[in-house]
Structure 1
Amino acid sequence: MTPPPRSAIRPSLTVDIVQKQDQPTGRLTRGVVAQLLTRSPTHPHGIKVRLTSGQVGRVQAVVGPAGED
């Protein structure tokens, strides 16, 4: 599975991220994007974002607009 490019991610989208401590297990965390932290258009491990909850991780999948779980 290829992580989505930066152009597909924007604030207020619901996404699944993998946090640094969860990288070995691949455990995903779902949340709403507050801020994009990676400037490049793509990254092999996913675009790094900060969620509204304050958690930081790399986007593995875009779920949809906020509120659609």
Structure 2
Amino acid sequence: MPGLAGTERKNIAPGLAVSIVLKQDQRTGKLTEGVVKDILTKSPHHPHGIKVRLETGEVGRVKEIHDEE
């Protein structure tokens, strides 16, 4: 994963484009892309990825952060 880690809360902010793994996709590892609406994890670090809600309402853990620049 180039760039920022999805396991650190400080790297994630609303409006950021990310790939998350949904709860039902954890076995397959299928990624869902979207834009962060809310950060749900309160701790500064989570080994499986910070849990977020996308603007679509989907909830999952951040696996990749996409660079817009």
What TM-score do the two structures reach when normalised by structure 2? 0.87
**Alpha-carbon contact 2:7-2:47 (below 8 Å) kept:** no
Q: Which residue does 1:54 correspond to in 2?
A: 57
Query: C-alpha distance in 1, partners of 2:38/2:7?
Result: 16
Match of 2:9 in 1: 6
Q: 1: CA distance between counterparts of 2:59 and 2:67?
A: 18
Q: Quote the offset at 1:3 in angstroms.
A: 3.4
Q: Following TM superposition, where does structure 1 have runs of at least 4 consecutive aligned residues deviating by more than 4 angstroms? A: none
What is the TM-score with the length of structure 1 in the denominator?
A: 0.87
In 1, Cα distance between the equivalents of 2:63 and 2:38?
A: 16
Identity of aligned residues (%): 58
Count of residue correspondences: 66
Q: Whole-Å Cα distance in 2 between the matches of residues 61 and 6 of structure 1?
A: 13
8 Å contact from structure 1 (residues 10, 33) kept in 2: yes
Unmatched 5+ stretches in structure 2: none
Q: CA offset at residue 34 of structure 1?
A: 0.2
